[in-house]
Amino acid sequence: DIQVTQSPSFLSASVGDRVTITCRASQGISTYLAWYQQQPGKAPKLLIYAASTLHSGVPSRFSGSGSGTEFTLTISSLQPEDFATYYCQQHNGYPRTFGQGTRVEIK
Amino acid sequence: EMQLLDSGGGLVQPGGSLRLSCAASGFTFSNYAMSWVRQAPGKGLEWVSTISRSGDSTYYADSVKGRFTISRDNSKNTLHLQMNSLRADDTAVYFCAKDHRWAEAFDIWGQGKMVTVSS
């Protein structure tokens, strides 16, 4: 099975900061990686799929990059509504594994 | 508007059974693979199962294989998850989710239903 490891698990940042989250796959997955945002008590929301394609309606301050085994999610200028937990998920076959999550909190 | 509405859930004793359902609206249900994802209290997301558009192919996480069964009724736009031999570590919020048109990522999610396995 393909494992995905996110880092960091937690980060503290201020409004306006540039934030980067990393996801590493245990084997090459081309660009079959998605990113989600989850607010407390809510269902996750898709942000990016195929490593770098922005899902419809997602603000352009979110971007994704990477291929193979290393991927990044970048928020160019953190907004108050972006404080949440972020997950990566590989979609290169089964099982479809998620990363452990990165909680982004207000500094 | 594309929507998924989860139903079912609740409290069940260890070894018991429960059935979750998910009603889809706003899109052609039969055109998309559908899945269940769960989240234990205070924990991360865990993929549980996926069913193909026609229902011919099903996939399961090792943690639920042999105990859970995913199914769909394309005539009623409904997804189901039959959960048998439930264990305490199955306690979680269960979300149904729809595959994106162009990728096996989840673009629409239900609101989630809590399943608690406890005596």
**Per-residue pLDDT tens for B50-78?**
999 999 999 999 999 999 999 999 999 99
Asked if pLDDT for residue B2 goes beyond 90, the answer is yes
B103 at interface of A, judged by CB pairs closer than 8 A: yes
Q: Tens place of pLDDT for every residue, chain A, 107 residues?
A: 999 999 999 999 999 999 999 999 999 999 999 999 999 999 999 999 999 999 999 999 999 999 999 999 999 999 999 999 999 999 998 999 999 999 999 88
Find chain B residues with C-beta within 8 A of A99's C-beta: 44
Please give the DSSP secondary-structure letter assigned to residue A60.
T
d(CA A53, CA A32): 11
Contact residues, chain A, for B46 at CB < 8 Å? 98
Helix, strand, coil proportions of chain A in percent (round to 5)? 5, 50, 50
- CB atoms near residue A33 (< 10 Å): 30
Contact A95 B106 (CB under 8 A): no
The pLDDT > 70 percentage for chain B reads 100
Q: What does the pLDDT read at residue A106?
A: 87
Report how many Cβ contacts below 8 Å link chain A to chain B. Answer: 62
Minimum distance, in Å, between the CA of residue B38 and any CA atom of chain A: 10
Please tell me the distance from the alpha carbon of residue B34 to that of residue B37, in angstroms, as a whole number.
10
Chain B residue with the nearest C-alpha to that of A97: B47
Query: Could you give the 3-state DSSP secondary structure of residue B9?
Result: coil
- What band does B88 get if pLDDT is binned at 50, 70 and 90? very high
Edge to edge, the sheet with strand A19-25 lists A4-7, A19-25, A70-75, A62-67
Residue in this structure with the two tokens 């998309």, named with its chain if needed: B32
Taking contacts as CB-CB distances below 8 angstroms, the residues of chain B near A97 are 47
Give how far the C-alpha of residue B61 lies from the chain's centroid of Cα atoms, to the nearest Å. Answer: 12
Residues 6 or more apart from A56 whose CB is under 8 A from it? none
Give CA–CA dist A93/A4, Å, rounded.
13
Cα distance between residue B112 and residue B77, in whole Å:
17
Of A46, A55, A97, the CB nearest to B47: A97
DSSP 8-state symbol, A97:
P
Task: Give me the residue from B44, B95, B100 closest to A49, CB to CB.
Answer: B100
